[in-house]
Amino acid sequence: MWCCSTRRSFQRFSLQQTTHPAHVQMDRRGLPAVLFLSWSGGVLWSIDVQTSNKNADKSRVNMQKNITSLGLLNWDDLKFFLEVARTRKVSSAARRLAVDYTTVSRRINSLETSLGTLLFEKSRNNGFIMTAEGQHLLGYAESIESTLHMACEQVSGSSVALSGHIRMGCTEGFGSFFITPQLSHFLDSYPSISLDILPLPHFISLSKREADIVIALERPEHGPYVCCKLCDYSLRLYATQAYLDSHPAIEQKVDLSGHVFISYVDDLAFSSELLYLSNLLPNAQAQLRSTSVIAQYTAALQGRALAILPCFLAAQDPRLLPVLAEEVNITRQFWMYCREDLRKLKRITLLWDYIREVTELNKGFLSGEKAELRFSR
């Protein structure tokens, strides 16, 4: 038995094999209760859908007329529907599914014909926008997708559970200078698992399955997510020796008023947690600003200004020296989260636990107390 919690409803799925033709079994109210779906290889699965939320019941009533034609519906069509819903572009969906544009378009048309309704409206500026009927179908399709993923692991055994693809969204600096170096051991241990690392500040939507796991500066406020505090990390003020030699001495915080800085573009920062310069020195002048912490790090190496940088980035580089290390020591947190349904997948669990392990191993490095990165063995 598998469960999936959403903001709209609580749905319970009972998965069992069946030899019946693909169809929908109705309950006493005449509403769809069991979806019989085609499975690759000719095996069929039935999914019992029980919904306690009134809004979800209303959605099911609205779709009742068309959903009775689900005898023509199969999982392959839903895969194409989900990708177009998430990317809003047929071309993007085609790339993610490794097929051509025509195939995606044909499968969407097939699904709409099967259901007897329009699922998308095409917009010149916004791509493919779901209709109300498409929105109703989306929740069911995502629940079915998650259930089938878990079914694969249960039925196929550990070889499938330890394979597959994972997309992880992560802040640029942490992803590049901490997470990526740590992944070699994980990938060596599980060679059948592949990874994508998607850098923030690009907004990543878990609801659209743009990523499976996200590491961010703030925890999600709401949603069907599993979330944990990953770690604290420290930021300090850094400069090159050349900069310190050619500018007025800095012995206390008040001396910083005569210096220039490298910082974030305040109105474009993807999190308020990044606006630490204005909190440290309200009147500080930033000669160079960038939304990229790696660009700030690179600029600081040129010796033209001071920069507040994460210790996990700057402490590894002997060309950068901490300035007022005791007085300027800022602490922030990283949070890791993923969808509740995906958290149950074995490959997600493996990566989740591994990231927690290596961050715990490097608490001193992330806090700036140690300059050497440690690796899992």
CATH (domain of 85) = 1.10.10.10
pLDDT at 283: 79
Claim to verify: residue 113 and residue 204 sit in the same structural domain: no
Claim to verify: residue 219 and residue 113 sit in the same structural domain: no
Total structural domains in the chain?
Answer: 2
Claim to verify: residue 196 and residue 223 sit in the same structural domain: yes
pLDDT band at 103 (very low <50, low <70, confident <90, very high): very high
Claim to verify: residue 53 and residue 90 sit in the same structural domain: yes
Cα separation, 231 vs 135, whole angstroms: 37
Claim to verify: residue 349 and residue 207 sit in the same structural domain: yes
pLDDT at 39: 40
pLDDT at 9: 35
Task: Summarize the confidence of residues 238-263 as an average pLDDT.
Answer: 93
Q: Is 142 exposed, middle or buried (0-12, 13-18, 19+ CB in 10 A)?
A: buried
pLDDT band at 325 (very low <50, low <70, confident <90, very high): very high
Domain membership of residue 305 as a residue range: 166-377
Claim to verify: residue 142 and residue 188 sit in the same structural domain: no
Evaluate whether residue 161 is within a structural domain. no
CATH (domain of 363) = 3.40.190.290
DSSP 226-284: EEEEEEEEEEEEEE-HHHHHHS----SGGGGGGSEEEE--GGG-S-GGG-HHHHH-TT-
Claim to verify: residue 124 and residue 239 sit in the same structural domain: no
Claim to verify: residue 141 and residue 205 sit in the same structural domain: no
Whether the predicted pLDDT of 175 surpasses 60: yes
Percent of all residues in the chain with a pLDDT value above 70, rounded to a whole number: 74
Domain-ending residue, one of 156, 182, 201 = 156
pLDDT band at 161 (very low <50, low <70, confident <90, very high): low
Q: Measure the CA dihedral 17/20/21/23, to 10°.
A: -80
pLDDT at 185: 94
Claim to verify: residue 182 and residue 322 sit in the same structural domain: yes
Domain-ending residue, one of 106, 132, 156 = 156
Whether the predicted pLDDT of 259 surpasses 60: yes
113 vs 215, residue with greater confidence: 215
pLDDT at 86: 83
pLDDT at 156: 62
